[in-house]
Amino acid sequence: MAPVFYLFPAFYLINSTNAQGPPSLGYSPSSRVSSVTFNQGFRNLWGTQHQRLDQGSLTIWLDKSSGSGFKSLQPYWSGYFGAAMKLQPGYTAGVITSFYLSNNEDHPGNHDEIDIEFLGTTPDKPYTLQTNVFFVDDVPIRMYTKKTDATFPTRPMWVYGSIWDASSWATENGRYKADYSYQPFVAKYANFKLDGCTTNGPASCIPPPASPSGSGSLSQQQVMAMNWVQRNYLVYDYCQDPKRDHTQTPEC
């Protein structure tokens, strides 16, 4: 079974100045995936005292003493994973709220990772969504470089979520830091989606299809929606960054 990972947030971030909005996806794997409660699919990883469960949803927060993180109960070869995330308004510079796939604990220093990270901001600016969704796009917003054919992406990954202080780089390259006079910084996760092929599952397992055709490719309508978002909201493409050494980015 070829490894295929889909990691999508359960909502759009729409700029209020653009009244038209993105075109419809037409189809989303989420329509075929039932929600699970936090305890059905996840466990605390760190910062237990900074987590609170409420009817299957999860609230985590960051203050000067600690942030918090959670992890799926099982690793996955492939699948569809999602969550509805509510971010804190106001001053959140330096704070990162994330939902991602990784095998860093199993392969430290040589791991694979697929991120959705919301970079905190100042009150006059919107959040920045930083991601490396590269299985559905020829020109990704961000991608971790492939190490070797033997290590990527054939190794299973776990699903994580966290809130933490990344003041050194998260907001305008570290210009604005986390200001703990605004603490706690709170994030809420709900409507968890976990549907995939676990490492102890049958070899015949098939993850939810990415498109209505059942293939691993996006439909024309999905591609149009993705291109619309890139045209209107893409603020950085490292493949177009002249300051980078592109001999180290063969995927570009």
Q: In the chain, what are the domain boundaries?
A: 10-248
- Write down the catalytic residue from 105, 113, 172, 251: 113
What letter represents residue 209's amino acid? P
- Return the sign of the alpha-carbon dihedral for residues 110, 102, 210, 220: negative
Tell me which residue of 75, 121, 69 sits closest to 99, measured CA to CA.
69
- The 10s digit of each residue's pLDDT in 153-179 is 578 999 999 999 999 999 998 999 999
10-248 CATH pick, 2.60.40.1660, 3.90.1150.10, 2.60.40.730, 2.60.120.200: 2.60.120.200
- Cα angle at 98 between 122 and 134, to 5 degrees? 110
DSSP SS3 for 2: coil
Per-residue pLDDT tens for 88-146?
999 999 999 999 999 889 888 777 888 899 999 999 899 999 886 434 333 333 444 44
Cis previous bond, 184, omega within 30: yes
Q: Is 172 a catalytic residue?
A: no
**What are 86's strand-pairing partners?**
188
Task: Respond yes or no: is residue 113 known to be catalytic.
Answer: yes
For the full predicted model, state whether its pTM sits above 0.85: no
According to DSSP, residue 31 is labeled: G
